[in-house]
Chains A and B, each alone.
Chain A
């Protein structure tokens, strides 16, 4: 029973990781840029959520009204800058790493390195939970999963069914020919970066709902998120979601059955196996989306 609880709870939390991973994965797959600054945006959003709730008593979910546009602009600006500079894939790693450090430090200066948590009185979602059968699901976890699935599903549909989505996928496969049919690589890249920023804003808010924040959180997400990106297949949204759920479930089960800190190994071994057997990801079938 406990195992089942852990597995399901883990699967739900996995949704949040998938949401974090989606932004990185799609920009990597389509634009060939590995944007570590994405984690900085998630962190910033989390702290902004905290601040808006604590100082102005906003409902945590409503803070999205502020953070989403903000991160939309920031994400787009960062992507535009990458494109303008014309940097290569590996240099984008370095550059975004520098940006990430900047952002983490800025957060540390403004909010200090102490743990910050939204007070329960301000955060109506923190304590609630839903009980089904003998299983308890905290509201925060359900919310995280709900948002993640809706956003990823929406993005997937957009990628598959809309002209813009097709343009993105075409750009991933053959930018020169895509351009010949009217697709402006820079504009599309900026738009994608902005969309990724928006997802970062939501992910940050969801994280802040249930966790205490510290600047170092940004680095703690690395391992899991990249595991999800690689397992799900770079650029594949549905695969990312599935990988997120799987990773979350496995982490949950391992924490309970073995020990909480054993989870990273299992994860790591999973990545190793996946890279050996199916380098394109467990769920991918080639190409973007």
Chain B
């Protein structure tokens, strides 16, 4: 959803180490806030210029807004262009209630939070419900909302009426110093809270859900993630933070008018700041804000104020092209060179007093550090690659480049396994698990499935075969809830699943893999599997989920690669990951859609062994496969589809020697 992701995802996600270091973060955070607070509380003692405090106040305002944007748009990938709506609602709430009606200032913060929450609920309920064009429609809706609200404010005299509203300075404790100090401290509190919320959210279940939504939303749904709920949650959180920030903003500007709070530059700045800093991480917006606000300030100071927006436009366009993942990812990848450059350049300019204003030195340092961060060396030898290569050598020992073998050879290879290991069911087939009655599915004028009635019992390993176009994948789609039947009913484990959304079908106990594996790119192999446990039928917290994930990885043989990112895996390994992830949802029914496509013989044998292990553990399996020799080895029962209907159903040997089946495969006028 967010375009190309070309950076090593390792830098983007907090790893297991960070989880343990949560306490360290908390301590560092408190210290940072305290340090920033002293800048104001002891300003005069330290001789800290007021001008810098004002600049910091501006930064804090933007940190709040950018973090607010990032919580929804960065984490989930649903871009919002409507940040100005929150600022506007917040500012006007405070302006009208406090400025005009003298209601307690702090109370207005609560009211604006509530109003923004309601607004977010309304927009989210509308936009997130529609299945098609979700991201784009949402973006456009958010673009329109501030205009509507601005118009509302303009016409209604109770709000603005075109005159603007004065916001006087509220009473504040004299010990804090001047009004500017008070403003700074209150912004610090709000920004601090915003960052803390963003941090907490990223680590929480919701954060994982949002990341999965960003990477592959429909796969996440198939695993049981209630995507609607999490998106709405993020939207409302974002709105509340933005609104409170807007209320404080009203205080800052002292006079609230439609143009100043519903301004389109607000979403522009917020988007640039977050995209520049790094969208997927709570710290990204902070970096982006520091950079952009400083840049803007220096541009204005040197008389180039008009060029601010042009600079911003160029930065945004350039970012989307060069570094869509932002600076934080680059910083994490190579912290030492980047930070060292910053320190060196800044010091080199500051110490000899080269520019008159130290801020210019800092800006120069940041620019230099950014250049270093963005520069990518030619060589792309990532370390995980070799680990994966070693392990893949262990997994597959056949040479992929062997010369063409004749069909005789191929079946010779297959036969020993055939004879040695006939498929034995783990137990006798048990209760009825799946019941299809009169199921049909049409696509326009094409009848993919017609009147399919079948039953699958617990413990079976069913091979679903048939010529191309016979409807196998359609049937899998129907069983997993990705497709709705045009007619007929489907019951799984006693529940009618017709019409249920995929994540509810997942909770009933159905899991499926895709022919083209779709892992969550920003998570490690282990975390991919852990996601299934965290959001499956019996959800568990992260740590427990990770332990469980490790066990599932052992079943498929990927345990050595648990800390690797999916981009470093080969196709076979990614398919095994798909299987592990599907397994981890603790399914009653596992649907495998051509899980063996593109594999070499050794990999296929390995996969067959894995599937046997899975079957033995008590999972009912339906496998769609073209490789009939594999299906013959594995399946307890074969269902043959042909042109959308069930042609044969029963014992593998019997079915495969059924003349009708042979005819379906070989041709309609087969003769011996």
Q: Which residues of B contact A106 (CB under 8 A)?
A: 310
A146 sits at the interface (CB 8 A): no
Check A279–B132 contact: CB distance below 8 A: yes
Q: Is A135 an interface residue, CB under 8 A from the partner?
A: no
Q: B-side binding surface: helix, strand, loop or mixed?
A: helix
Task: Assess whether B152 is interfacial by the CB under 8 Å rule.
Answer: yes
Q: How far is the CB of B431 from chain A (nearest CB, A)?
A: 41
Are A264 and B313 CB-contacts (below 8 A) given A85-B321, A94-B271, A105-B306?
Answer: no
B-facing residues in A96-140 (Cβ within 8 Å)? 97-102, 104-106, 108-109
Judged by DSSP, the binding face of A is helix
* Contact indicator per residue, chain B 135-161, by CB within 8 Å of chain A (1) or not (0): 111011101110110011011000000
B320 at interface, CB cutoff 8 A = yes
A8 is an interface residue with CB less than 8 A from chain B: no
Known: A85-B321, A102-B310. Contact between A90 and B316, CB under 8 A? Answer: no
* In the assembled complex, B312 has its CB within 8 A of some CB on chain A: yes
Q: Which residues of A contact B275 (CB under 8 A)?
A: 94
**0/1 per residue, A23-49, Cβ < 8 Å to B?**
000000000001000000000000000
Chain B: which residue is nearest A103 at the CB level?
B313
Q: Indicate whether A159 reaches chain B with its CB closer than 8 angstroms.
A: no
- State how many angstroms separate the Cβ of B194 from the closest Cβ of chain A: 22
Most A CB within 10 A of own CB, among B79, B130, B139, B317: B317
Counting CB contacts under 8 A, is A68 at the interface?
A: no
Stretch at the interface among A55-63, A220-228, A241-249: A220-228
- The stretch among A148-156, A204-212, A269-277 that forms the contact with chain B is A269-277
Complex Cα gap A268–B77 (Å): 24
Interface size class of B (residues with CB under 8 A): 35 or more
Which B288-332 residues sit within 8 Å CB-CB of chain A?
Answer: 306-307, 309-310, 312-317, 320-321, 324
- CA–CA, A109 and B315, complex, Å: 18
Q: Across the two chains, which residue of chain B brings its CB closest to A215?
A: B309
Of the candidates B132, B268, B314, which one forms a contact with A97 in the assembled complex, judged by CB atoms under 8 Å apart?
Answer: B268
Q: Closest Cβ of chain B: how far from A34's Cβ, in Å?
A: 6
Number of CB contacts from chain A to chain B under 8 A: 125
| Residue in B127, B143, B312, B313 with the greatest tally of chain A CB atoms within 10 Å | B313
Q: Which of B1-9, B110-118, B248-256 contacts A (4 or more CB under 8 A)?
A: B1-9
Chain B residues numbered 66-115 whose CB sits less than 8 Å from any CB in chain A: 77, 79, 81
- Find chain B residues with CB under 8 A from A85 CB: 321
Asked if B264 is at the interface (CB within 8 A of a chain A CB), the reply is yes
Q: Which residue in A90, A226, A268 is a CB contact (below 8 Å) of B148?
A: A268
User: Given A85-B321, A91-B3, A94-B79, is A264 in contact with B147 using a C-beta cutoff of 8 Å?
Assistant: yes
From B137, B271, B272, B313, A105 is in contact (CB under 8 Å) with B313
A95 close to B (CB within 8 Å): yes
**Nearest A residue to B131, CB-CB:** A279
24 A-B contact pairs sorted by A residue (CB < 8 Å): A87-B320, A88-B1, A90-B2, A94-B320, A95-B316, A97-B271, A98-B272, A100-B313, A101-B310, A102-B313, A102-B314, A105-B306, A105-B313, A222-B143, A223-B144, A226-B144, A261-B152, A265-B148, A268-B144, A268-B145, A271-B144, A272-B126, A275-B141, A279-B132
> 9 tightest A-B contacts by CB?
A98-B316, A102-B313, A98-B317, A101-B313, A261-B155, A91-B3, A105-B309, A88-B3, A264-B151
Given contacts A88-B2, A108-B309, 18 further A-B pairs with CB under 8 A are A34-B140, A85-B321, A89-B135, A90-B1, A90-B2, A91-B320, A94-B79, A94-B275, A95-B317, A95-B320, A98-B272, A101-B312, A102-B313, A264-B151, A264-B152, A268-B144, A275-B130, A279-B130
B contact residues vs A (CB 8 Å cutoff): 1-4, 77, 79, 81, 126-127, 130, 132-133, 135-137, 139-141, 143-145, 147-148, 151-152, 154-155, 264, 268, 271-272, 275, 306-307, 309-310, 312-317, 320-321, 324
